[in-house]
Structure 1
Amino acid sequence: MYFRNLLLRTPDTVAKFQSVPGQTGQTPPLLQYFGTLLTRGKLNAYESLELSRLVVNQNKNNLLENWLAEDKLECSEELGDLVKYLASVMLLLLGVSTIGVPSLLRSKV
């Protein structure tokens, strides 16, 4: 059973779920797919990256943090780059909101 599941968990499977149109007011099929996989274990590297892109685009970064803490996502260089970019943006926003743009710019010069 485990081996058979691995054969289905491919980029092609993710692409098929991405192409299915969602119904208004319902969870998109791709998110249902990822949700089901998360309840059963850890996502592979490709699934982890695709799900992470979705939640970052929806500004639900806390979900990403929780899944990383729970070891539900397989880490990869691409996922690291996404998280690094997200952390940079968050640090920049924090700096702007706490010390203001002029002070932030002076500290970088």
Structure 2
Amino acid sequence: MAARRRPGAQIPSRPVEGFDYVHEEPVARSLEDLTLVVARVEIDFRAPVGFPEVVEVGVRAGSFGRKSFGLDHELRVRGELVAEAKTVLVAYDYGKAETVTIPETWREKLAA
């Protein structure tokens, strides 16, 4: 049986200064384990980006609540800051159609 391919673009990543890469193990093992919904997205554009510029994206965990957590994003082109963003993700049980407490294992891995 062929390996199941994850949807979406496959984008190589590189560390962005100030966003130390320490993530060594996935938070979830499959798409079925990812029970998150995006509650908020906020972005501040600092400079225009044209094609075919390569955009480096740094992501780090921000604030934590019982049922949600924030991610801080920094986008750079050749070292220049071009955008900053914040997202809030909420742990969600699709079967029950309700928010749930973030599993402690997620919290530990995201805070590392």
Q: Of Structure 1 and Structure 2, which has the larger fraction of its residues in helix? A: 1
Pairwise TM-score range, normalised by the shorter structure: under 0.3
More RCO (CA 8 Å, sep 6+): 2
Q: What's the TM-score once normalised by structure 1's chain length?
A: 0.19
Q: What's the TM-score once normalised by structure 2's chain length?
A: 0.19
